Structure 1
Amino acid sequence: MTSRLFARPGLVAPFKAAIAALLALSLVACRSTELTTAGLLPFAAPQSVGAVTGEAEIRGQSTLVLDYASGRTLYEEAADGLRYPASLTKMMTLYLLFEAIGEGRLSLDSELRVSENAASKPPAKIGLEPGTTIRVRDAAQAIAVKSANDVATAIAENLGGSEAGFAAAMTAKARSLGMSRTQFANASGLPDPRQISTARDMSTLGRALLSRFPQYASLFSVTEFEYGGKRFKATNKLVGKVPGVDGLKTGYIRDAGFHLVATAKRGGRRIIVVVMGGEKGRDRDAKVTALIDQYLGAARFAER
């Protein structure tokens, strides 16, 4: 299934005008922010919202199953152990992007400028060229499906003025959502020892992303999309294969292992499953599938 998420709206103000019209965005504890032509620059540095102490365990394994409706934890194993979140990070990148759209600070057809820094990020990427632009709607789809690092950095630089500035806003938003053991250093999840989180915090983020922005849920349920004449397949291999699975996000770096935050609905009930630190992608996928079957029942009850 190729993405057909967004209908094209009518006349949309140019991106520069949208940026010039930005209003101050409140962060944790009602901290104010300053809008400049370079983006949204938080006054507060990441440590001002409480730096997380400790080191992430290399390829540490964690598991958590969350009931979506109630937020109740159904199963957990090492759910509070510090882990490198890898590309699960991009759920927060999208959260802040969707928030900016909802507040009218940009639109789905706003153009994000691509810097040399963004274009230079290693794969996964969609091959953005420096000096070009990408529409917000395409950027969101590229993150959700392909987990594109070049796109994540472009979003960060356009919204935050710099990736460091955006990471500060990400960390502050994490605190406001109750993610007490998460700290962000970049928008992509590429290796950085300061970028840490937990399975519990990632389940909190996944639930918040779906509940606050249900209009974008279909972003995560497509199996491929096209951009720039190329076709990109989804990194989440359970979508379209395991009945009831309709998102959310995969992640991998060498020191993290294979991660997946998955959401599934069967028999009218939805759960979020977090598995972090899988030795192989297929092992991670098998574990997530088994947990979905265990807590939602047989696949014959799946809702498509």
Structure 2
Amino acid sequence: MVWGSVSGQRGRIAALAMAVGAAATVLVASASPADAARRKRASGGYNPPYAAMVVDVKTGRTLHAVNEDALRHPASVTKVMTLYLLFEQLERGRYQLDTPLAVSARAAGMAPSKLGLRAGSTIDVEDAILALVTKSANDAAATIAENVAGSETAFADLMTRRARQLGMSRTVFRNASGLPNPQQVTTARDLTILARAIQDRFPKYYKYFQTRQFEFAGRVHGNHNRLLGRVEGVDGIKTGFVRASGFNLMTNAKTDDRHIVAVVLGGRSGAHRDGIVTNLVETLLPRAYAGARQTAPILVAGDQTPVPARPAVVAEAPKETPKEAPRARADVNVETTATTTPVPQARPKAPLDLNAMRPAVASAAGGSTTTPGSGPALRWNQGPAGTPASASAFASADSAALPLPAAHAARAEAPRPATVVAKAEPKAETKPEPARAAASAWVIQLGAVDDEGKAKEMLEAAKSRSGRTLAKASPFTEKVTRDGSTLFRARFSGFSEADDAQDACRTLKRNGFNCFATRS
């Protein structure tokens, strides 16, 4: 009797469940399209525009690319450029890691994510760095911008200028945090350049991107990058999200002498994005080149941006002794024959017209990069090909001045680093070699390195990957001395028109090389 009772009860429950299921089916079938759309959104229908790119750091070769040149919103990946500019100030000695940064009411009022900084308070430079790396704090980002440049708008203009100088040709910044702004755009390709540049320029400070957690004002903030410590080789660098962008991640991975950077933009969720990046790293890192690096570092040549004086109330205080002394400025000499001729300082050009840079976000996919076949064998020429008078739009010859804080204190010119890459230098007083100048109105430069053999290897690699683009171009090296240091420019001559030289540079950039075109 007991068993029969239980069995009958189970039968009634099963029948009831079937009835409820049938009723639910009827309700779903009769729901309006609007209800269906709401359910789709609730169940994960969010599908932002996607883009991705993976680059082998040692060769510059593209390992993976999807929509890599399509415009996207960077979101908080923006903060990598914010930190790039702050690291410049640290290197020059303008700031120390314990220098207090004043928090304005505007910065304190930034939308989350934020530390909760109070207007009128201060935050040390190192804490601000860690706040951006881990918490992705927008109030800290705005504080950095206002202290460095006087206003966030002025700082964003400087970010865009620096992006151009690094070769990020399609990126425009409007703020230091990545908070929503329809005009703040970038591409996956541009962000792979930034990921490499910040490591090349600031290996000492790059370590901050490996920080797992950060304690501030009694609270512990974890890093938003969930791949740290979970995916072999991953050591940074930055996540980002706004509704218009989707879930973004700039990643660096190194292991077994291999090194890649990966950028994924437009993940549907953090987990979706992380899964894509994990798969890319685990698949492509073992395929990366394991030999010596073949590409030159991505640097802003000359680093000539004048550093604005600190606001007057701060500047009157005794000058602190920098932890790292700024490098002394040096005159550049170009070796022509047996003598050297000093090169005069170039006059700065007019600032970039940033109002003209207002691209609309494109949804069209950019084509993936392929590697053409090898070109003809190289013949080497060493000697001057005409010192450039100015750089092309691909690598602006000037570093426009940092906007001044409200105090409008006098600017002081920053020292130049010893190594220059893909950047025009001031024109020498001596005339270019007549025969070469007549044969080649324009030349392109890939970079300048401290060994002639490396310069030749760079030219060989460029020619082999450029197919017919450089078939008629003549590779040559040019020896340059700077304060006792010797550099070798890697250049191609043989371009009669500016468009030809610039087209060649575009091809080289698509294949991972730095490049600028200039008159011979």
TM-score bracket, shorter-length normalisation? 0.7 to 0.9
- The equivalent of 1:85 in structure 2 is 74
**8 Å CA contact 1:267, 1:296 repeated in 2:** no
Matched, 1:273 2:262: yes
- Shift, 1:60, TM fit: 1.5
Q: Is 1:152 aligned to 2:125, yes or no? A: no
The alignment's C-alpha RMSD in Å is 1.2
Counterpart check, 1:99 vs 2:88:
yes
Deviation at 1:266, TM superposition (A): 1.8
Q: Quote the offset at 1:71 in angstroms.
A: 2.5
User: What is the alpha-carbon distance in structure 1 between the residues aligned to residue 182 and residue 194 of structure 2?
Assistant: 20
CA–CA distance in 1 between the matches of 2:75 and 2:250? 12
Deviations 1:209-254 (A, max 9, x none): 1111011122111211101111000010000111111000000000
Q: Larger RCO: Structure 1 or Structure 2 (Cα < 8 Å, ≥ 6 residues apart)?
A: 1
Which residues in structure 2 correspond to 1:162-177 (within 5 Å)?
A: 162-177=151-166
Name the counterpart of 1:209: 198
State the distance in 2 between where 1:163 and 1:71 align: 33
The residue number in structure 2 matching 1:66 is: 55
Q: Which residue of 2 aligns with 1:133?
A: 122
Displacement of 1:109: 1.2
> CA–CA distance in 2 between the matches of 1:69 and 1:164?
35
Residue among 251, 255, 260 paired with 2:249: 260
Once residues 195 and 101 of structure 1 are traced to their aligned partners in structure 2, the CA distance between those partners, rounded to angstroms, is: 26
Query: Displacement of 1:105 after TM fit?
Result: 1.4
Q: Which moved further from structure 2: 282-291 or 214-223?
A: 214-223
Residues 49 and 245 in structure 2, CA contact (< 8 A), matched pair in contact too: yes
The two structures have a TM-score, normalised by structure 2, of 0.46
Counterpart residue number, 1:178? 167
1:136-179 Cα distance to aligned partner (Å, 9 max, x none): 01111111111110000000000110000000100000000000
Is the 1:145–1:219 contact (alpha carbons within 8 Å) kept by the matching residues of 2? no
- CA distance in structure 1 between the aligned counterparts of 2:196 and 2:116, rounded to whole angstroms: 30
**Would the aligned equivalents of 1:146 and 1:232 in 2 still touch at CA under 8 Å?**
yes
Q: How far apart in 1 are the matches of 2:284 and 2:126? A: 34
Number of aligned residue pairs: give it. 241
SS of the residue corresponding to residue 284 of structure 2 reads helix
C-alpha separation in 1, matches of 2:107 and 2:55: 34
Q: Name the residue aligned to 1:20.
A: none
Give percent identity, aligned residues only.
50
Distance in 2 between residues matched to 1:92 and 1:271, nearest whole Å: 19
Distance 1:100 1:258 in 2: 30
Q: Which sections of structure 1, spanning at least 5 residues, go unmatched?
A: 1-57, 299-304
The residue that corresponds to 1:111 in the other structure is 100
Match of residue 289, structure 1, among 270, 278, 281:
278
The 2-side partners of 1:86 and 1:95 are apart by: 16
- Cα shift at 1:69: 2.1
Q: CA deviation at 1:92?
A: 0.3
Q: CA deviation at 1:283?
A: 0.5
CA contact (8 A) 1:167 1:184 kept: yes
Q: CA deviation at 1:114?
A: 0.3
Residue deviations 1:90-125, cap 9 Å, x none?
000000000011111111111100011111111111
Gaps of 5+ in 2: 1-46, 288-520
2-structure distance, mates of 1:112, 1:122: 19
Residue in 1 aligned with 2:466? Answer: none
Q: Distance in 2 between matches of 1:70 and 1:141?
A: 31
Counterpart in the other structure of 1:50: none
